[in-house]
Structure 1
Amino acid sequence: MAQQIRRNGTGGVRRAVKAQSRAVTVRKARGSATGVIDRVMGVLPFTEDQWSRIWLAMIIGGAVGIAFIIASLAGVPALAQAQVAAVAADAGFEVRHVRVTGTSRMDEQQVYARALAVRNQAMPDVDIAALRDDLRALPWVSDARVSIQLPHTLAIDIVERKPHAVLEKADRLMLIDATGVELEPIAQAKAKGMLRLAGPGAGRQARALETLLSAAPALAPKVEAAEWVGNRRWNLTFTTGQLLALPEGEIEGATALVKFARLDGKNRLLGGKVLAFDMRTPPRLYMRLPEAVGQPKDVGGDAGKETT
């Protein structure tokens, strides 16, 4: 009987030791996991109060997510979406700050005026695509990137259009980009030194003019103004004040401009006594001399001196 009691006592001790060992292991594992979580939380830029909101939002959001799935299956997704937005707002995830980058020439207030329309909205309620379209409707905006940065910042990155030329209109000068989009009015003094376009529909031909001038890169910097005539051809005015009338057609106009550049390189036409050059009837070139100054600006085939 005494031996049996001793064996039972030994087995109880062993079980107690094993139980204590398991408890120690569990505590160590919990401590290690807690340490890792604490380190991760320390790295991220959130305060303890924000972390409390985040954990609360995750817990409630998980429940709402399940409810959303059930609601969607039941045919009421809009109600579930409203509930998600309400939970996000309660957790502090709403638009409180707007950060705009990428603007250098345009008025930044135009961007803020549109962005502040979503101020204090819950993040899930912000229609990023609609806001982006609204921003892209601004004259200076070529593109806009809109993103949400939790917990409460709306980030907007603007890609501005680049000024290319000045469009002469009946009552004002307009700054335009290379595609002819009108950016804003510009004062006469600020327009000095910029390429000027004139004539009905000239703005829409800005890209075509750029392509034309690229055919003769040596002449392009010397072009001061370009007039779109009759919706079919260009008159170019150089910094010397001399005029070059080009023929109709993209290929014909580019060919004539290249020929003129070649002749200018050989004979120094620009800066000379000739007032105007008429190449509207290729391959001939008509030149108007100073004594013909009283004749119309658009040179006729029988005016001035002729050369081939």
Structure 2
Amino acid sequence: MSKRPTTRKSPARRPQTKRPAQKRRAKKKGPGLLERTVAALPISEATLRRILTWAIVLFVGAVALGIGGWFGIPQKAGVAMAEGVGRAGFRVQQIEITGLKRMDRMSVYAQALDQQSRAMPLVDLDAVRERLIAYSWIEDARVSRRLPDTLAIHIVEREPAAVWQHNRQLMLVDPSGELLEPVARERMPDLPLLIGEGANSEEMARRRLMEAAPALKSMVRAWSWIGNRRWDLLFDTGERLQLPEGEAEAASALARFAELDASQRLLGKGYVGFDLRDPTKLVIRRQSGVSRSETLGLAGRDD
């Protein structure tokens, strides 16, 4: 007889009791290291984001240009990327100019904005500087970017030192003799008047010469540069003083003349002029055409 297979009954499972869900208390976490670092920076979060964006864009742009150069991709890709940076907000919107005193401000604006593109990466700072220092009034210029949208320009102007008269024209010059602009004498009455070819280039030498006789400074109406080698002084009282060649010789003669004028009152007595081209001798010319010669330091005599 065959036995029927017996089936085993699985034990009944006990119903599982649901445990009440435990509420987990959320722990408050303090600010992380990054948040604390950002808070400590002396700039706003918005500015920091712009700087980071700028840095990332420049890095990606540099990598892209490097890869493009390797594979021979035209530079237009880099220009397009720079334009994209400009559209992102890094574009010249403001120009700050400092140091400007006499030059026309609009001329500076015109040179700063003479760009094919206003995108910050494409602004050629060196080219702007070169165009600015081409102006006669500008001795030097510093041009820099101030992110995100400002171009900063600091101008160093030349200082007017004298008025140069040449070929019937008056020009304002700086201490080095650089020509600045045409000028009317009445506009600059306190500046010395230099006369003659090349006199503008002798301005620094003239200043050193004047230091030998500061008492005469207010009495000199003009300085005439003769033959590109020596000075004649024209006084307000009408006399002409002829100085010798050589800077040291001229300074010594001028100092001696100042001493004689202080002791004997030479100026303003109706003399036509004084000749010190021979440093050992003073020749005094009168209106009558008669001259008197004095050996410096000794008693004079009439010729």
Give 1:175's aligned residue: 172
**Change in CA separation of 1:121 and 1:272 when aligned onto 2, cut-off 3 Å:** same
1:38-58 per-position Cα deviation (integer Å, ceiling 9, x unaligned): x468x6367x5x766555444
- Select 1:150's aligned residue among 147, 152, 168: 147
Separation in 2, partners of 1:273, 1:279? 18
**Change in CA separation of 1:76 and 1:268 when aligned onto 2, cut-off 3 Å:** farther
TM-score (norm 2): 0.78
Equivalent position SS for 2:231 = strand
Separation in 1, partners of 2:35, 2:275? 85
Deviation at 1:66, TM superposition (A): 3.3
The aligned runs of 1:227-306 (5 Å cut-off) are 227-292=224-289, 304-306=291-293
Separation in 1, partners of 2:121, 2:60? 16
For the Cα contact (< 8 Å) 2:224–2:233, is it kept in 1? yes
Give 2:125's aligned residue: 128
Deviation at 1:278, TM superposition (A): 0.4
Separation in 2, partners of 1:60, 1:111? 30
1:35-91 per-position Cα deviation (integer Å, ceiling 9, x unaligned): 653x468x6367x5x766555444433333433454566787956753652342132
Q: Letter of the aligned partner of 1:183 in structure 2? A: L
Separation in 1, partners of 2:215, 2:183? 28
**Change in CA separation of 1:34 and 1:185 when aligned onto 2, cut-off 3 Å:** same
Separation in 1, partners of 2:86, 2:283? 75
- Select 1:140's aligned residue among 137, 142, 152: 137
Give 1:34's aligned residue: 35
Deviation at 1:196, TM superposition (A): 0.7
Equivalent position SS for 2:91 = coil
Percent of aligned positions that are identical = 40
1:5-60 per-position Cα deviation (integer Å, ceiling 9, x unaligned): xxxxxxxxxxx99xx89x948x4344x743653x468x6367x5x76655544443
Considering fraction of residues, name the structure with more helix: 1
Give 1:208's aligned residue: 205
Equivalent position SS for 1:272 = coil
**Change in CA separation of 1:276 and 1:88 when aligned onto 2, cut-off 3 Å:** same
**Change in CA separation of 1:264 and 1:80 when aligned onto 2, cut-off 3 Å:** farther
Give 2:294's aligned residue: 307
For the Cα contact (< 8 Å) 2:213–2:258, is it kept in 1? yes
Equivalent position SS for 1:28 = coil
Deviation at 1:238, TM superposition (A): 1.9
TM-score (norm 1): 0.77
Separation in 1, partners of 2:254, 2:261? 10
Equivalent position SS for 1:253 = helix
Separation in 1, partners of 2:73, 2:280? 74
Give unmatched runs, 5+ long, in structure 2: 1-21, 296-303
Separation in 2, partners of 1:275, 1:173? 26
Equivalent position SS for 1:220 = helix
Separation in 2, partners of 1:36, 1:144? 37
The farther-off stretch of 164-173 and 152-161 is 164-173
Separation in 1, partners of 2:291, 2:263? 21
Deviation at 1:182, TM superposition (A): 1.4
Matched, 1:64 2:65: no
**Change in CA separation of 1:65 and 1:194 when aligned onto 2, cut-off 3 Å:** closer
Equivalent position SS for 2:145 = strand
Give 1:13's aligned residue: none
- Select 2:183's aligned residue among 168, 181, 186: 186
Q: Letter of the aligned partner of 2:35 in structure 1? A: T
The size of the alignment, in residue pairs, is 274
Q: Letter of the aligned partner of 2:57 in structure 1? A: I
Separation in 1, partners of 2:30, 2:188? 75
